[in-house]
Chain A
Amino acid sequence: MDFDIIFGNAARAAFGPEAIILALAAIGLNIHFGFTGLLNFGQVGFIMLGAYGTSVAVATFGWSLWVGIPIGLFLALALAVALGIPTLRLHAVMFAIVTIAAAEIIRILIGSTDAIGLTGGPLSVSFDAGAFFDLNPYADGPQDRYGVGTFAFTGQQMWVITVGWVLVALVSLIVFLIIRSPWGRVLKSIREDEDAARSLGKNVFWYKMQALMIGGVIGGMAGVIDAIKTSGADPNGFRPQVTFYTYTALLLGGAATYMGPVLGAILFWFLREWIESFLRQLSAEAWLPGAIADFLEGSEGIISVAMVGLALVLLMLFRPQGITGNRIEMQLDAR
């Protein structure tokens, strides 16, 4: 059992591209769910369109990556409008159902054999993200490593990470600026009582639409980073659980806070990787009874997700506002 390795793995996951993607997805979801109270259960749909928009533009149409990225973001925006127009006037539960269904429908369409010519269908699509890595300032030889022990990245990863975290910081700043403004105040009023907002002259539908669009485009950014990181996209990567991981991260960090989604994403990946590495080392220990070792072997990933879920349950029980949330605000719900 080598805890340095376990910790190194966990730290690498916590600061690597996966955490960045999750952080962006959670920042977008925070605008929907945290600040506006929209129950978006299809955040993965926005991520997927960001990733596929970029990938397909470059791989299928042969356009430049710098054209592909805006196309990915635009598709995420278009999804927000397409979802919002028919459903934002309906009850919150309807909206939740439609979003989860829409994301699944899109995934099934993208992954269908009929779409092979366009999206690669069930096969993944892949493209050359050279345009992005040409700008990489980090030396990227086969021997180049940045970090210590298992907490180390390649030059290419370093470039994705640098751009990614700068993007997370920038997006967080913009979200901070718009949420503390009178615009953000209207969102919070809608979250609490739509009719109160209406009675004060606020066009609730339009504000919700704006929130849906912004959060959706930020979700699209997560998809763009994902596409660049993997130089492509795979329909299996966009199953509904992505949305639920995003909710987990958001709730861990604290919904309706500025840093919550970022801290939550880091924590999510840290915990998940720590537990998985730990279990993997554990299952290799000689003293472990054979039955338990067999049980663990190969299921470390699933068990670790289950453990993160358990952590979320405990958090909701003992600190429902998340790590950074405001306890007093939570208590007002009970009145």
Chain B
Amino acid sequence: MFRFSKPALGGAIALALAALTAGSALADGRYAGIGRSATRAEIHAWDIDVRPDFKGLRPGSGSVDQGQEVWEAKCTSCHGSFGESNEVHTPLIGGTTKDDIKTGHVLSLVKGDAPQRSAIMKVATVSTLFDYINRAMPLTAPKSLSNDEVYALVAYLLNLAEIVPGDFVLTEKNIAEAQARMPNRNGMRTDHGMWPGASAAKGGMGNGGKPDVKNTACMSNCKTEVKIASLLPVYAETAHGNLAEQNRPVGPVRGKDTSGKAGATPAAPAPLSENAAASKLAQDSGCMACHGVAGKIVGPGYNEVLAKYRGQADAEARLAAKVKAGGQGVWGAIPMPPQTQLKDEDIRSLVKWIMSGAKAQ
């Protein structure tokens, strides 16, 4: 039973619209009084994309050395000193060779022997790195980098992958040279059937929607045996929580009890304790991506923080200010980004929770 309009009604609306746009009041396709012209300054403020042919790239420059400085301050915490970290995201750098730079196709992709695919192994276009760092990184403060800082960061990443030398200064003028050395620049193809626009033959991309796999709708005696190629590993069943609680308690089926406690009477769900609420807040606020309770991930373990400041009267206020503003140097060179997404009272209750042992319950 649906509360929604039937397709016939949707069709009627579409027809009505067609009639309307064809009508004389809208002869030029314009809607009176709706929208206004965009100013040059507005377009300049938002039109930040950079295409593979560098259309949209704003002039600037940055050296590998400058890039390293910005990188260490703003990127190392998540991507590692050399873009190799696999903690917060898959590695940016690694897995490419001098030979790949010559051929333009990463050999380990062909051989299939790389344990992971780094970003540099995949990306064919250097513009993509520039565009993306400029629009989205660092993760917690996107669009905070200057144009020259983005040049410098791209130069640094290219140097890590040995695409450019250590004394390289990347500018809008020489970025095409870097493009010509991208290790996987010849690694993409579009001659498939999954582009929904015009085909390459008609000035677009792809083969016009021809599928690459063909099955037939055989109905009986389609094969002689059923080959089961793979079964659910036991750990995968229990890693997803108790499936009994992920199904409806009524109907033709029940969820399987994967709690390991089948038969026991489950306790009624208790309201969240103060500790549990704080623990959830820390999860939801992204703190646990960088902090463990006992030990270090990117930042110190919360119990290490407690051990350091226990008994200091102003510790909670100082730590709350630190979390809000971010900073580095107390636990090492890696900075904590400012946690500006949180309300002050939430930061205070998180710090209070940390200083009371960061218990789950």
Q: Say whether A and B bind each other.
A: no
Residues of A within 8 A of B (CB): none
Q: Residues on B close to A: CB < 8 A?
A: none
